[in-house]
A = this chain, B = another copy of it.
């Protein structure tokens, strides 16, 4: 029989995986944790170095991490969130109790609810990070929802992450993140569509002039989104897929985020040094 013990006052916390955000989350949790562990198998040298710099403790693999952790934080690219949860579920098969599992990824409420079915809806907490990896307070919020949201929020007290509880409903944090991403990632992707179409139709100079008359700096707008997305475009594509699902689930047209996903996917595939590329990624000039 599975028993869900309360989280100890200094829990072992597992981070899957210590990317830039995961390392910051792990470091933020150290003061209140009995230990912050990560799973080395299959991770890159960059990840290892990051985990080492953040002073996290390596364990061999996800199975070992899942056996030892009282709280697991999944922080990975959106398209990998379900896989990570399935790896943990497999590892938990021979464990009598269930850890708290925080899915802090930019996924749809439906994806989080699926993870809830997999790992126990009352043991999963829906998390959404808005802001950069936090090494000092004030810039980044971790929104939390679910039955154990308050417990997880408590672990971040006094840390660089501002934890905010959004209620007991699994999916609320993810919905918030999806709505926010429409503004922060879908909206700027419109500039890449505009640049591509203006170039293909041969009207980019006129467009730049017309926008300048309206006080809009076309070159700056295109350059800004290109620079912001940059090496993250492939991850943003996955986030836009999930945001589209979040829209469609409540009957809202999902075309903005579907188109943004397609655009970031193309951006990720583009060679930024290819001056003949048709995507206008440095299209402003």
Contact = CB atoms under 8 A, between A and B. Distances in A.
Given A182-B194, A201-B172, A253 B247 contact: no
A182 to B, nearest CB: 5
A92 interface: no
A41 interface: no
A258 B186 CA distance: 14
A259 B262 contact: no
Contacts of A219: none
A200 interface: yes
Interface stretch (A29-37, A64-72, A210-218): A210-218
Given A141-B210, A201-B179, A206-B143, A250 B193 contact: no
Given A197-B246, A197-B252, A250-B196, A203 B179 contact: yes
Contact of A200 (B252, B253, B278): B252
Interface in A140-173: 141, 143, 164, 166-167, 169, 171-172
Contacts of A164: 206
Interface bin, chain A: 35 or more
Interface in A222-258: 246-247, 250-256, 258
23 contacts: A141-B210, A166-B206, A167-B202, A169-B202, A171-B201, A175-B202, A176-B207, A179-B198, A179-B201, A180-B207, A182-B190, A183-B190, A183-B191, A183-B216, A186-B190, A187-B190, A196-B250, A196-B252, A197-B246, A197-B247, A254-B259, A255-B255, A255-B260
Interface of A: 109, 130, 141, 143, 164, 166-167, 169, 171-172, 175-176, 178-180, 182-184, 186-187, 189-191, 193-194, 196-198, 200-203, 206-207, 210-211, 213-214, 216, 246-247, 250-256, 258-260, 262-263, 278
